[in-house]
Amino acid sequence: MQTVNIRQLKTNPSMALTAARKDDMVVVMNRDHPQALLVDLEQLGVPDLPAVRVALAVSLFRGGAVSAGFAARVAGKPLAEMLTLLSSQGIPLTGEVAADDVRDEMRRARNWLVKPAA
């Protein structure tokens, strides 16, 4: 187990992520007091990591911490599929954030469709 202080985490977050990937976890210290644990999801050894990612994404969206687009990226799902999943669980999709996510996804789809074949 390694420790990192908040300044180190801000300066070089990839170092902390690498340490979490190699070790079991990294303890984030705030003024010499443990504040948080950084754990690489792969290291948890859960049998169905994709389901854990979806549950995490749903929870973060439900709590208002992330947009639907960000939740879709966390879950590793296309936005349309994530919106359907959230809606099927009775989670409201109202608000500007959801509309902005849909517009962004549509823009990316249009760009992909008009991209010349290589």
49-84: pLDDT as tens digits? 889 999 999 999 988 888 888 999 999 999 999 999
Domain at 2-44: CATH architecture: 3-Layer(aba) Sandwich (3.40)
Mean per-residue pLDDT, 10-28: 87
Residue-averaged pLDDT of the chain: 85
pLDDT at 58: 94
Mean per-residue pLDDT, 72-98: 85
pLDDT at 95: 59
Indicate if the pLDDT at residue 91 is higher than 80. Answer: yes
Comparing 91 with 114, which gets the higher pLDDT? 91
pLDDT at 117: 63
Domain ranges of the chain: 2-44, 49-110
Mean per-residue pLDDT, 8-25: 87
Note if the pTM is more than 0.85.
no
Q: Give the pLDDT band (50/70/90) at residue 86.
A: very high
Own/partner long-range contacts of 25-34 (Cβ < 8 Å, ≥24 apart): 25/1, 26/1, 26/2, 27/1, 27/2, 27/3, 28/3, 28/4, 29/3, 29/4, 29/5, 30/5, 30/6, 34/3
**Whole-angstrom distance, CA of residue 110 vs CA of residue 90:** 29
